[in-house]
Structure 1
Amino acid sequence: MSELRGVGIGLGVAQGPVVRMAEPVPAPENTPSALGAEAERQRSRDAVETVARELNERGAKAGGSAQDVLEAQAMIAEDPTLQDEVDSRIDAGATAEWAVHDAFASFRATLEAVGGYLGERAADLDDIAQRVLARLRGVDAPGVPDPGHPFVLVARDLAPADTALLDLDQVLALITSDGGPTSHTAILAREKGIVAIVGVADAAALSTGETVIVDAAAGVVTTDPTEEEKDRAAQRAAARAVSDTAPLTPGALADGTLVALLANLGKPADAADAVARGAEGVGLFRTEFLFLSSAQAPTIAQQRQSYRELLAAFPGKKVVVRMLDAGADKPLAFLNDAHEENPALGLRGIRALRASEDILREQLTALAEADAETDADLWVMAPMVATVEETVYFTTLARDYGLKTAGVMVEVPASALLADRVLAHADFASIGTNDLTQYTMAADRMLGSVAGFQDPWHPAVLRLVREVGDAGARLGKPVGICGEAAADPLLAVVLIGLGATSLSMAPSALADVRHTISRRTLDEARTLAEIALAADDATSARNAVVEAATALPSHQKETTS
């Protein structure tokens, strides 16, 4: 028996035989075309169009965050600039296969050099290129294997197209050697409720056919387990399945302290699943879905209809809507089409909205009209706020439109450090831990080469969370968490100890977080938070809290009212 360690996603445990992901399609050789340029161009276009169509179809079938990711991949596949690069190589005598391989590789290098969020787009290019090459060669695209029995999937990483449509009756668990807790694979695995451990450095040592136990709660893969260990894992899995069907209750600590558990949603159609899983409202509604698929901004009437559909699903409950967060990995020609050397640090979020204020005003108009027609408790917030002046600008404008609760996203260290002054003007703060970690650690959250730095357990990030939590407590202002950190059950306890009054996450994470926080008192949460803050790095913080939490008694809630 041996143990491999990584970052667990959720609290699940599973066991079964390993099946490794197939190797990628080999790179083509640079041989002259025998078909001619016109035929090769047509072949490349047909292959790209087919791949883009398949990605969109997979996205429509998967829904949720997966659809957003796959639609973005399809757009990349059909990027005119990329097609021009392919054509130029074909015109020089190359085959479609070589032209696609070389053009995608060159485009990937360009995006990596730009940095920022485009690092993720660079990684996506590998998967798209593989699919186009497979189509050109008339072979199956690389993807999840189908051995004919349930299995534990082991891969370097999974492409979004693969993760989106995993057969949960066959894939018992997922182990990847790459990626961190906020990678696309981790986010989609959490959304689909897949038992997963990412960032397992020694995953390459696992062989097809060997039996492993995947313990996401501990972040441990156990190889060659004993029968006793298998039995314990099976009992834990059975107990967890029972807890998943327990009656839905409001989020609360063991001492009765209420902590609202909310959902992160990407489109109104996702609301029904969130309600069914016990979401007490919405902590983050991303409005980008309305804009990203359009060549121009949607009309006020189109926006109002979508917002009304969302609000109607949560009568009497809090719904926090984030204004359009475009820029960086979500460029919009009608908002900001200027090239930026480092778009993650450029004109994005509230900065982009101020530069195109008519779009912001139209959003606020549509939200105010939808609010007047429904009974939800609508809150609005601005993304990427960095200064007190930006806070005053947005909250004043929102209130001018009759929106009574206006707040800000805290994703930039500057706004966290000035949280008391920001909250003097804002009605609430919502901490986006994904970007806050990225900017605190100077590590692109989508770039695999620095994934080790992108961990919200890092004490530097937690100190900033505490700054906001303390400011909220002093001023009587709510402080929510809406980044992926809220979906980590044990980290959720720490965040409460740092002052978070609500937690928002993918709906599939609600059950685990509800169960975990119900076993801890507020005093214990604060104690665990101090232990995390005292560590020197993310791994030490996580391990110290795991050890301390294990030593504490597990409580039942004394009250939920």
Structure 2
Amino acid sequence: MEYSGTGVGRGIAIGPVAWMSPPMPEPSAAPSLVTAERELERAQDAAAEVARELRRRAGTVDGSGREVLEAQALMLEDPAVDSSVREHLARGVTAERAVFDAFAGYRALLMGMGGYLAERAADLADLSQRVIAVLTHSSPPGVPDPGHPFVLVANDLAPADTATLDLEQVLAVVTLEGGPTSHTAILAREKSLVAIVGADASGLVEGATVIVDAERGRILTDPTAEDVAAATARQEALVAEAAAPITAGRLADGTPMPLLANLGSPDGAAEAVRLGAEGVGLFRTEFLFLDAEAAPTVEAQRDAYERLLAAFPGRKVVVRVLDAGADKPLAFLGGAHEENPALGLRGIRALRRAEPVLRDQLDALAGAAARSSAKVEVMAPMIATVEEADWFAAVARESGLPVAGVMIEVPAAALLARRMLGVVDFASIGTNDLTQYTMAADRLLGGVAELQDPWHPAVLRLVREVGEAGAALGKPVGICGEAAADPLLAVVLVGLGATSLSMSPSALAGVRAQLARVTAAQAREIAAAALDADDAATARRAARAAADAFLG
């Protein structure tokens, strides 16, 4: 039997299934036998213990894993959460019940807000379980330990578990929920872990041997000896591919195709260089602003940018200005509660409301660029109109940053790409949000994961619009969404007009190897096959069939 889902990367694994332990039962609503003051003390002590453990785990990992765990610890220390626990304790319940109700309330609120905050809602559910486990002297739900390597299957994985998985034991991860941009997918990609998310795999049996094929997004049960032999051969080929000498990205006919890194802080720069990144296609600056009550100073920002640029002398580094707003609320940006923040004041819209924050960021970046040989470019997120693009480019150039571009994440921007590129120097397509807005499917909700697929022909046609506009005007068009990390989709994106690809550094080797096997003309034919499909699954199959016809 075969199950399907959204694969992360190209890896393949063979092993027995081990299911994640089920959630703890809901605490009793019976009255407490001690005072509310004593119950509050218990709740606060338990929360502090969990926060300490999360920070201990954060110290053992790098990159997004550390950032996520530190953010979880901060959630436990949020005064609003403490206040909510106090309110529930006033009803005379136990600390366990008060914690459960407080976190459940916040989780429901954030789920209703969608976007970034909906993702945080899943984190809150895990935190609640961990605090209640301390209060009840129980073990929280966690990764099983069957005593041998295994394929981990779960409804979903908490960041605290995903970030610290023992890769000697966990051969692959399969989750029933989540999409390609969930925490599980992001962290799995960073760790080069074989993973399939949003899988229809509730029927997997504990202990049964399965083949998890991330490249094809399938889980095969009861594999034959031939299936196992083919999977083993694929594993060996991937190992050889990863060990191959690092070269500049190019197609089989010699066409250059720069392969760049997506980074969320300067800490990952050295590893990106080691893995062959030829520069940075997307540097997210949110790490400087999130969880801050005031915008960081120009000096603090400049120091962070200088650390990044020092790792890429003479190379291109594309920095995205702050992508925040109602769905990533920052007090110093202002703004009121919005019912649908994904469609509200985010990205450039929020920055125009708080222009001094943007100008400080640009001044800091210009100062860092002046002290570096890196080729610094700056771009704005969530551009929807030509006027926004023109305004941002003017502000960037006033600040001493001559190369200014825009993110293409909104269908309106893709459809107006020629006019957009008429007022800026380059475009970078953010496939995660472009897919979300094209398909009207929240990229963080597992229930619509099948729609949140950059392979959909509607998304690919918008990419083609931008690629053709770039070619007509002689302007670069990069891809910086996670779609570029899929080697076959990377070929399609090149065939649609992309002139550079940026991705998680761990994906560079696979994409580099795949691109080196096709010519520009073949990439265009493979892209044409995908465009001629009715849905994402058909587009993927058509592209694979076209690629196989060329490559054998």
TM-score, normalization by structure 1: 0.96
Distance 1:159 1:390 in 2: 38
Residue 131 of structure 1 corresponds to: 130
Q: Would you say how many aligned residue pairs link Structure 1 and Structure 2? A: 552
Given that 1:478 and 1:501 are in contact with CA atoms closer than 8 Å, whether structure 2 keeps it comes out as yes
Q: Is structure 2 residue 272 aligned with structure 1 residue 274? A: yes
User: Residues 497-508 of structure 1: matches in 2 within 5 Å?
Assistant: 497-508=495-506
Q: Cα offset for 1:492?
A: 0.8
Given that 1:336 and 1:347 are in contact with CA atoms closer than 8 Å, whether structure 2 keeps it comes out as no
Residue 433 of structure 2 corresponds to: 435
1:381 equivalent among 379, 382, 394: 379
Residue 157 of structure 1 corresponds to: 156
Given that 1:265 and 1:282 are in contact with CA atoms closer than 8 Å, whether structure 2 keeps it comes out as yes
Question: Which AA in structure 1 matches 2:68?
Answer: V
Question: Which AA in structure 2 matches 1:59?
Answer: A
Residue 38 of structure 1 corresponds to: 37
Residue 15 of structure 1 corresponds to: 14
1:496 equivalent among 476, 494, 497: 494
Residue 310 of structure 1 corresponds to: 308
Given that 1:7 and 1:219 are in contact with CA atoms closer than 8 Å, whether structure 2 keeps it comes out as yes
Distance 2:77 2:342 in 1: 23
Residue 558 of structure 1 corresponds to: none
Residue 470 of structure 1 corresponds to: 468
User: Residues 39-438 of structure 1: matches in 2 within 5 Å?
Assistant: 39-201=38-200, 203-438=201-436
Distance 1:380 1:437 in 2: 23
Given that 2:327 and 2:346 are in contact with CA atoms closer than 8 Å, whether structure 1 keeps it comes out as no
Given that 2:179 and 2:444 are in contact with CA atoms closer than 8 Å, whether structure 1 keeps it comes out as no
* Cα deviations by residue, 1:388-447 (Å, 9 ceiling, x for unpaired): 111111111111122121101111111111110010011000111111111111111112
Given that 1:263 and 1:506 are in contact with CA atoms closer than 8 Å, whether structure 2 keeps it comes out as yes
Distance 1:456 1:336 in 2: 33
Given that 2:453 and 2:536 are in contact with CA atoms closer than 8 Å, whether structure 1 keeps it comes out as yes
Q: Cα offset for 1:208?
A: 2.0
Q: Cα offset for 1:493?
A: 0.8
Distance 2:177 2:337 in 1: 30
Report SS of the residue matched to 1:189. helix
Report SS of the residue matched to 2:331. coil
Given that 1:117 and 1:328 are in contact with CA atoms closer than 8 Å, whether structure 2 keeps it comes out as no
- Extract unaligned runs of 5+ from structure 1: 555-561
* Cα deviations by residue, 1:4-52 (Å, 9 ceiling, x for unpaired): 2222211111111111111111111111101210011111111222223
Tell which deviates more after alignment, 421-430 or 75-84. Answer: 75-84
Tell which deviates more after alignment, 292-301 or 318-327. Answer: 292-301
Given that 1:287 and 1:321 are in contact with CA atoms closer than 8 Å, whether structure 2 keeps it comes out as yes
Q: Cα offset for 1:497?
A: 0.8
Q: CA RMSD in A?
A: 1.4
Question: Which AA in structure 1 matches 2:412?
Answer: A
Question: Which AA in structure 2 matches 1:291?
Answer: F
Distance 2:55 2:409 in 1: 31
Tell which deviates more after alignment, 332-341 or 181-190. Answer: 332-341
Tell which deviates more after alignment, 219-228 or 474-483. Answer: 219-228
Distance 1:175 1:237 in 2: 18
Report SS of the residue matched to 1:334. helix
Given that 1:59 and 1:66 are in contact with CA atoms closer than 8 Å, whether structure 2 keeps it comes out as yes
Q: Cα offset for 1:54?
A: 2.5
1:485 equivalent among 462, 467, 483: 483
Distance 1:528 1:454 in 2: 21
Given that 2:126 and 2:158 are in contact with CA atoms closer than 8 Å, whether structure 1 keeps it comes out as yes
TM-score, normalization by structure 2: 0.97
Change (3 A) 1:72 1:342: farther
Report SS of the residue matched to 1:552. helix
Distance 2:120 2:463 in 1: 29
Tell which deviates more after alignment, 204-213 or 470-479. Answer: 204-213
Question: Which AA in structure 1 matches 2:322?
Answer: L
